[in-house]
Amino acid sequence: MHKHHRIALAAAAVAALTGGLLTAVAGQAAAAPTGVQGDFDHDGFRDLAVSSPYASVAGQAQAGQITILYGSQDGAGATRRATITQNSAGVPGTAEKGDSFGATTHAGDFNGDGYADLAVGAPGEDVAGDTDGGTTEIIWGSATGLSGGTTIADPAPHDHDRFGTAVAAGDFDGDAKTDLVVGDSSATLRLFKGGIAKSGTAGSKAAVSTPILGGGDAGAISLTPGDVNADGRTDLVVNGVEGTNSGEYLYNANYYLPGTASGLGSGDAMKLPAGVITAIGDVNGDGYGDLVTGLHWDDTVPGTTKGGKVTVRYGSASGPSGDTAAITQDSGAIPGSSETGDSFGWEVTLGDVNGDSIQDLAIGAPAEDLGSATETGAVTVVYGSTGGLDTTTGVQYFQQDTEGVPGSNEGYDHFGGEVFLSDVTGDGKADLTIGANGENDGNGAVVALRSDGTRIVTAGARSYAPSAVGVSTAGYPQFGSVISG
């Protein structure tokens, strides 16, 4: 089956990963930093955009589609759902083989009308004869939800491929308007500032150079926005690779780019601990955004730990500080143990589950073996405190055999291949949505767990299968492999 950009690069960097269908794209771990966070219809409930990046649409294999689970007091998708493809009315383009529409998504109010919009990347789109040139679109929020869309023109279409391989929203220059940054196969990011009109016109455009490697299978893998230094401007973590471009000596790399009055400060890029996916949020209550990064590889790669780990680098007024912490399955009361191939830290997400204004952390380990179920997967929840993430008290652990969690542990389900904390019930507490992208031989599934105000509970848990939300099960759609909102 097709390997997505994230895994193609990760494999080149560190040799083989786990088996099965653990080939999901890199989800956007941080919430939309400006505008109305994920509320596409402005009804007071945050909504979820759930991608099936390899879904067949109208017989076109791996065209990709997005399912919108609208929030309500009963949870996301409980009362209303919708499907968006490139065949949907008003959405630019046509669903075609290999487009991977929805491979990357990020929410933000780009046109300033009070409704959250959704930036969508389709990195496999062929554009004007350019194979895999890639495209990025904004699907617009409204009183009826997401509908229609606008193509964001690639400023340098002949200089790279896979425009839209990573997208992120934020107010990078502090002008109170939502900006969009887009990655492609080059080392340069494309920044659209000052808001974006429905015509596709941005206030201004800029090219932002980065230290990552560009060309071929290189370029941006993931982009994570958040205010690390508490200056009111969104900063950005850029994940890519560095080294030679031979495919043999590529190494995963993260760089911090601070937000500035003119946009993103590429000249002040700071090297960070490696790891494909990062979330930014205040996990110790000091007012600065902390960087939480999953490094899921085993200890054959420098800086990693058997089974995977999560690193925390604390924020400060000057950006990422030198203070760090690490979490593995051997830390404190974290359930399980660090075993080769667990992929602990494959996905991370932050949200305030208990309403104490400190961010809590959910960690996916989708290759965790449990009993006889190989790579069935598990999710760990660790709570933030004034001392940072507390691995000794209140730690929670979910698998599909956990009482109240829909489904059961089966081989290669990859439960935890995506995790997303967001308040979809409108009570001010973050709920947990989990993707199991390997469920039923790559069909995928989504499990929604709620916060009871103090912790994540299984009471009232919901599960969504692709066939129930209009996703074709032809091939390997991987419903739930990317969740944003």
Q: Measuring CA to CA, which residue among 450, 384, 369, 473 is closest to residue 416?
A: 369
Tens place of pLDDT for every residue, the chain, 485 residues? Answer: 222 334 433 333 333 223 344 444 444 443 333 335 899 999 999 999 999 999 999 999 999 999 999 999 999 999 999 999 999 999 999 999 999 999 999 999 999 999 999 999 999 999 988 899 999 999 999 999 999 999 999 999 989 999 999 999 999 999 999 999 999 999 999 999 999 999 999 999 999 999 998 988 889 999 999 999 999 999 999 999 876 555 555 668 899 999 999 999 888 899 998 888 999 999 999 999 999 999 998 876 667 889 999 999 999 999 999 889 999 999 999 999 999 999 999 999 999 999 999 999 999 999 999 999 999 999 999 999 999 999 999 999 999 999 999 999 999 999 999 999 999 999 999 999 999 999 999 999 999 999 999 999 999 999 999 999 999 999 999 999 999 99
- For the whole prediction, is pTM greater than 0.85? yes
Question: What is the model's pLDDT at position 31?
Answer: 36
Give strand pairing partners of 381.
362, 396
d(CA 399, CA 409): 7
d(CA 50, CA 103): 10
Using H for helix, E for strand and C for coil, what is the string for the chain? CCCCHHHHHHHHHHCCCCCCCCCCCCCCCCCCCCCCCCCCCCCCCCCEEEEECCCCECCECCCCEEEEECCCCCCCCCCCEEEECCCCCCCCCCCCCCCCCCCEEEEECCCCCCCCEEEEEECCCCECCECCCCEEEEEECCCCCCEEEEEECCCCCCCCCCCCCEEEEECCCCCCCCEEEEECCCCEEEEEEEEECCCCCEEEEEEEECCCCCCCCCCCCEEEEECCCCCCCCEEEEEEEEECCCCCCEEEEEEEECEECCEECHHHCEEECCCCEEEEECCCCCCCCEEEEEECCCCCCCCCCCCCEEEEEEEECCEEEEEEEEECCCCCCCCCCCCCCCCCCCEEEEECCCCCCCCEEEEEECCCCECCECCCCEEEEEECCCCCCECCCCCEEECCCCCCCCCCCCCCCCEEEEEEEECCCCCCCCEEEEEECCHHHHCECEEEEEECCCCEEEEEEEEECHHHHCCCCCCCCCECCEEEC
Residue whose entry in the numeric block shows the structure tokens 């109305």: 36
d(CA 425, CA 73): 4
Two tokens, residue 290: 């902390």
Residue whose entry in the numeric block shows the structure tokens 């590429």: 266
State the Cα torsion 128-131-136-140 to the nearest 10°.
Answer: 70
Two tokens, residue 405: 């969690």
Burial of 386 per CB tally in 10 Å (0-12, 13-18, 19+):
exposed
d(CA 41, CA 263): 29
